[in-house]
Amino acid sequence: MAADHVMKHHALAGEQVVKALKSRHFEACYCATKAEALQKALSYIPEGSTVGWGGSVSVEEIGLKDAVRGPQYHAIDRDAVTDPAEKTRLMKQCLSADVFLMGTNALSQDGELVNIDGTGNRVAALCFGPDSVIVIAGINKLAPTLEAAVARARSWASPVNAARFNPDTPCAKTGFCGNCRSAGCICNQIVITRNCRPAGRIKVIVVGEELGY
């Protein structure tokens, strides 16, 4: 467990960014731990909901994927299939889910989300489709400015994720963004979500622990 002064710092920073998010019409809250974040996320998901998700380590790390695979929900489980065509079909089905789960590549202190996608399925659901989107944001995703948030997403999150998915990209080989146009590039869509419309559709749970990349 983090030292008390670190936890206090995380709480202060988290509470400030929650205020900024609310000023932009997101529903937002701060949870000190992964366990608290899981319970908060589940409170946003009515029983019987159809639930989908994008590729998200953060969602998995708080136990939310396993929770929505339970009998009280209808999970669109893209992770349960290996056939590429079937996975694509399920990813498209997620765009009409009741609830969509995702992380974020970065979050500015002023309350703007920054997300980068390879195929665009995750940012498509964020922008339009599901009636409710739940974003899990570890404290490590916070950046002081929008410019720093974009830089974080491109220079840190993308190279790490590229190493997981597309090891032939320049950033996966060097650790640094090469601003590439390679076939395996995962930086094809860069989306900044500066306001939530309709208000409250996007719920952002800021977590006082490091999650994802």
Render pLDDT for 38-68 as a digit per residue (tens, 0 to 9): 999 999 999 999 999 998 999 999 999 999 9
* pLDDT category of residue 157 using cuts at 50, 70 and 90: confident
pTM of full prediction above 0.85 = yes
Q: In Å, what is the CA distance from 165 to each residue of 3, 162, 171? A: 34, 5, 12
Place of tokens 């948030």: 149
Q: In Å, what is the CA distance from 126 to each residue of 40, 52, 89, 150, 164? A: 19, 12, 18, 17, 22
Render pLDDT for 162-199 as a digit per residue (tens, 0 to 9): 777 766 888 888 888 888 888 888 889 999 999 999 99
